[in-house]
Amino acid sequence: MKKIALILICVLTLAFSVVVFGGCGGAPAEPKTDTFSSGDMKSLLSEFLTANPDRTCLPNAIEADGEEKTAEWLKAKLAESLGEDNVSLQAITDKKTEYNDVFRSQNVIGRLRGGRTQKGNKIIIGASYDNVYSTAEIAQYEGYAYFEGTSAEGAIDATGVVTVLALAEYFSRDNVKSKLTVDVEFVFYGMGEMGYRGSHHYLQSLGTTGRDKILLAVNVDGLGGDAPLVYFDETPTIHGEFIMETAKEEGFGNYLTQPSAFEADYGANFVEGVSYTPTQILSDAGQYYGDYNLCAFTSGAKGSFFLGSRESAVDGNIRSTPLDTLKNLQSRNPGYALQMAVVAQTVASSVMRDGFVEAMEQSKENVGAFSWLLNSLIPSIVVAVICIGAIVPIIIIVRKKERKYAEADAQNKPNVKVAVFGMDYEQPKENELYVDIRSESPFDNQPSEDPFADFDKHDEES
C-alpha cells in the first residue's frame, strides 16, 4: 500500500508540474518586427487621435466638419513622406435623396511611383478615417439621425489609418522605393460610416483602364481585438498563399491567421450575391471583393464558433461606441500596437519579396473563377435539386404500390361472362362468374347472392 501511495503522489506531482510550469513556459513567444516598431505605432496613433478626435462626416455642413479637418491633417502627414505634389484630396458629394440631405466628403490619396514598375501595375493600400464622434442629424426630421454621436475618438478604426501611414513612410524611403516593382496608392477613404461611399467613389473614379492595373487591394480596418486576422477569399488563392508564406517567413505564422468561413455575420448582406458576408469584408474591402486580389486585415475573437464581428471572446464590442477610446483599447489589449506592426511588416515584406508581381498576376487571372458558387440563384437551384431528389423516390414508390394493388385487384376481381345457352353448356373456371340470361334469376348456382361480395371484402382488407 505504501508503494501504491508513493506512486500516486509522484504522478500527481508530475501532473501538477506540467500544468503549472508547462503552462507558463509553453506559451508561444510574441513575434518580433524588425521594420516597424510597436513603440512607433503607439506614438503615431496617440498623435493622430489627439489631433483628430472628431472625424465625423456631417450632412449639410457649411463650415469644415471633423472629417474634412482630418483629411487636411492626413494630407499634410502624407506629404511629409511622399511630397506635396503626390498627395491630393478627392472631393465627394453624396446626396441622400430620401431625406434631401447632402454629404460632402473627401478621400485622401497619396501616390508613389516604384523604381522598377512595369506596365503601370499598382497596388492600393487603404483604410477609412472617419468616425461617429458627433451626431449626424436628419435635417427635416427633428430628433432623428443617421447615427448618434459617441463622443469617443474611435481608436479601433484609427489603427488602420496609422498602419497605412507607417507603410507610406516605409515605401517612400529611397532604398525601398528604388526596388519597388509596382506603383502604390495610399488611400484614406471618407464616409466609411455612411456605407463605405468613399471607397466606392475612389474605385469608380479610376475608370476601366485604371482598375485593370490593380494587382492587389490591401485594406486595414479595426486592429486591437483578440487576434489579428487576414482574409483573401472564400477559396484558396495564389496571392493569399504568397502573403501567408511571407508571414511565416517573418515569424508570424502562429500569430496572423485566416478566419474560417464560420466566423461571419450571417445577418449581413453587404456584398451582393453572397448569402453571408465574412466580417473581414464588412469594410471598404468589400468594394474590391470578387473583382480584384483582396487582402483584408482586421482583428477579432479567435475561434470558429463566434458567428459575428466579435472583437473579443471575453469582453463585449466597443467599436463605434462611447467606449471606443485609446485608453480602453490599451487596457483591453496591450498588444494592439504589435498587431499594427505585424500587419505593416507582412504587407511590406510581401510587396518587396521576389516573385510578388508574378504571383499577383497569376492570382488575378483566377479572380472570380468560383463566383458562380456565390450567385444568388445557386441556393434556389440547390433547393430545387433536393426537392426533386426527394419527390422522385416518392413517385417511384407510389407507382410500384399502384401496380401491386392493380395486379391484386385483377387476380381477385371476378371475370364476368354470359352463359348464352345456359349453364349446362359452360364449365366455370376459378375466378369466373357466369350470368345465365335465360334464367329468371341470372345468378343462380353462383357461390354468393352478391357476385362482388368477395371482391368488396378484399378491398376492405387492403
Chain segment 405-450, per-residue pLDDT in tens:
666 655 666 666 665 556 555 666 666 666 666 655 555 555 555 5
Between β-strands 294-300 and 227-231, what pairing exists: parallel, antiparallel or unpaired?
antiparallel
Model pLDDT for residues 208-257, shown as the tens digit of each residue: 999 999 999 999 999 999 999 999 987 889 999 999 999 999 999 889 98
Confidence class for position 62, pLDDT limits 50, 70, 90: confident
Least confident of 110-114, 273-277, 381-385: 273-277
- What is the band of 278 on the pLDDT scale with cuts at 50, 70, 90? low
Contact 33, 345 (CB under 8 A): yes
Is residue 8 predicted with pLDDT exceeding 70? no
For residue 164, what pLDDT is reported?
Answer: 98
How much is the pLDDT for 381? 74
Domains of the chain with bracketed CATH: 38-371 (3.40.630.10), 379-461 (no CATH)
Whether pTM > 0.85 for this model: the answer is: no
Q: Do 210 and 150 meet the contact criterion of CB atoms below 8 Å apart?
A: no
Length of the chain: 462
SS (H, E, C) the chain: CHHHHHHHHHHHHHHHHHHHHHHHHCCCCCCCCCCCCHHHHHHHHHHHHHHCCCCCCCECCCCCCHHHHHHHHHHHHHHHHHCHHHEEEEEEEEEECCCCEEEEEEEEEEEECCCCCCCCCEEEEEEECCCCCCCEECCCCCCCEEECCCCCCCHHHHHHHHHHHHHHHHHCCHHHHCCCCCEEEEEEECCHHHCCHHHHHHHHHCHHHHHHCEEEEEEECCCCCCEEEEECCCCCCHHHHHHHHHHHHCCCCCCCECCCCCCEECCCCCCCCCCCEEHHHCCHHHHCCCCCCEEEEEEECCCCCCCCCCCCCCCCCCCCCCCCCHHHHHHHCCCHHHHHHHHHHHHHHHHHCCCHHHHHHHHHHCCCCCHHHHCCHHHHHHHHHHHHHHHHHHHHHHHHHHHHHHHHHHHHCCEEEEECCCHHHCCCCCCEEEEECCCCCCCCCCCCCCCCHHHHHHHHHC
The confidence score (pLDDT) of residue 2 equals 47
Adjacency order of strands within the sheet including 214-220: 87-96, 101-112, 183-189, 122-128, 214-220, 294-300, 227-231
Tens digits of residue pLDDT in 287-299: 998 899 999 999 9
- Structure confidence by residue, pLDDT tens digits, 30-57: 788 889 999 999 999 999 999 999 999 9
> Which pLDDT tens digit goes with each residue over 362-411?
999 988 655 444 455 555 677 778 888 788 888 888 777 777 666 665 56
Query: How far is residue 187's CA from residue 381's CA, in Å, rounded to a whole number?
Result: 40
